Structure 1
Amino acid sequence: MSVPRLLLCGFGSFPEAPLNPSAAVVASLARDAWAPPGVEVDFLTLPVQWKGSVETILRQLQARPAEAVLVVGVAVEAEAFRIEHRGRNRAARERPDHAGRVWEQAFIDGAGAEELAATAPCAAMLAAIAAQGLPAVRSDDAGDYLCNFTLYRLLATGAAARVGFLHVPQARECAEGAAFSVDQIRQAVCAAATAFAGVLSRPAAEPHRA
């Protein structure tokens, strides 16, 4: 029996987060070859680009298929770790990506569903972070920038059987006055990924279309 594989992704820098803690944590886990018991993990840093983030994941999955994808992004103003429950078919036309390009329409896919439910074990991930003594909340709105864009497109394309998204707060090392250290963010990512890995042998639900 093959070992399940999880692809764990973080985002690179963008104007609001020149030192993105999601990329820093994913890179540190890659250096340590971290993985939950019984699961293999691949690691990837994504460009903050409208045409680039999802394509980077799809190329990786073509080379090394995985049963699950967990993307970690930063929510600069967040005061808790947010488990995203859905991707919405919308995009901020006025916000350029890290390459200076803009998305030219207010939706992601003109023929797509208004929203798609994440196929990750969201409740288990939330409980796992809370069990570490860290604040965690359910979120039904991943915004209208690259985080939501990436989540929605991964779900819409069926990139993997299970797809999830974790928003982490900004780190103290990256923004004066922020509430969390990089070590705490790493702790939360490990907890969420371990909870995610625990269900990879179970059948995934079909994405819910609203």
Structure 2
Amino acid sequence: MTPRLLLAGFGSFPAAPLNPSAAVIATLARESWAPPGAQVDYLTLPVQWQGATETILRQLQTSPADGVLVVGVAVEAEAFRVETLGRNCASPERPDQAGRVWGSPLIADAGEDVIAASAPCQAMASALETEGLPVDLSEDAGDYLCNFTLYRLLHAKAAARVGFLHVPQARECAEAAAFDLAQIRQAVTSAAGAFCAELSRPVAEPHRA
């Protein structure tokens, strides 16, 4: 069967009025881009504690996918980051785009401290390296909506494989940024291509601590 990937990016928030993840996802959706031999669905997520994960889960109920790759911006990053862990932590007083706070330092009161991403992280990182793009395997996705969404998707076992790619800010969004949207698009398509290539292979149970 043809593997299906759900590819999602975040909309704007105060630190990124123009979010490059949403800009790239919107372009790829308009072009109906997909790696050879795969299908891709697209979503733009609200930067909201109650809303981002729910948007993905509703989409998966309508159109199940073999994998989910979420793309977000790390405004101060100087390299692309493939996130390898979801951590059960959140910034309790940091407001989302709607002005609401999560109100707890934990995402799930009875949840595991750490859940390993089930995406093919090393394959994704290697694909970016092949394109000449700087990339790190990261163990800390922060304490805002990026880590929050990754952890909740892993905790809910939303799909067999779930991953997260942090991209740096783009020149079109901030003049001092090191990358342009074309390079960010290249990173996203390379990571998504590597992800899809692995979707037909068995996945091990994520490590939970």
Pairwise TM-score range, normalised by the shorter structure? over 0.9
Amino acid at match of 2:147: N
What aligned pairs does 1:5-154 form with structure 2 within 5 A after superposition? Answer: 5-154=4-153
1:162 corresponding residue in structure 2: 161
2:185 corresponding residue in structure 1: 186
| SS of equivalent to 2:55 | helix
* Structure 1 residues 47-92: Cα deviation after superposition (integer angstroms, max 9, x where no partner): 0000000000000000000000000000000000000000000000
Tell me, which stretches of 5 or more residues in structure 1 are unaligned?
none
Output the TM-score relative to the length of structure 1.
0.99
Return the offset for 1:154.
0.2
Q: Distance in 1 between matches of 2:201 and 2:129?
A: 23
Amino acid at match of 1:53: A
Q: Distance in 2 between matches of 1:206 and 1:120?
A: 11
1:195 corresponding residue in structure 2: 194
Give the count of matched residue pairs.
209
Q: Distance in 1 between matches of 2:53 and 2:32?
A: 23
CA RMSD, 1 decimal: 0.5
Amino acid at match of 1:43: Y
* Structure 1 residues 90-119: Cα deviation after superposition (integer angstroms, max 9, x where no partner): 000121000000001000001000010000
Q: Distance in 1 between matches of 2:203 and 2:152?
A: 17
Runs of 4+ in 1 over 3 A off after TM superposition: none
State percent identity of aligned pairs.
Answer: 71
Output the TM-score relative to the length of structure 2.
0.99
Tell me, which stretches of 5 or more residues in structure 2 are unaligned?
none
Q: Distance in 1 between matches of 2:161 and 2:89?
A: 21
Amino acid at match of 1:142: A
2:171 corresponding residue in structure 1: 172
Return the offset for 1:4.
1.0
Q: Distance in 1 between matches of 2:119 and 2:110?
A: 24
Return the offset for 1:187.
0.2
| SS of equivalent to 2:198 | coil
Amino acid at match of 2:145: L
Return the offset for 1:204.
1.4
Return the offset for 1:151.
0.1
Q: Distance in 2 between matches of 1:205 and 1:170?
A: 33
Return the offset for 1:205.
1.4
Return the offset for 1:203.
1.2
Amino acid at match of 2:111: G
Return the offset for 1:170.
0.3
Q: Distance in 1 between matches of 2:124 and 2:29?
A: 20
| SS of equivalent to 1:124 | helix
| SS of equivalent to 1:97 | coil
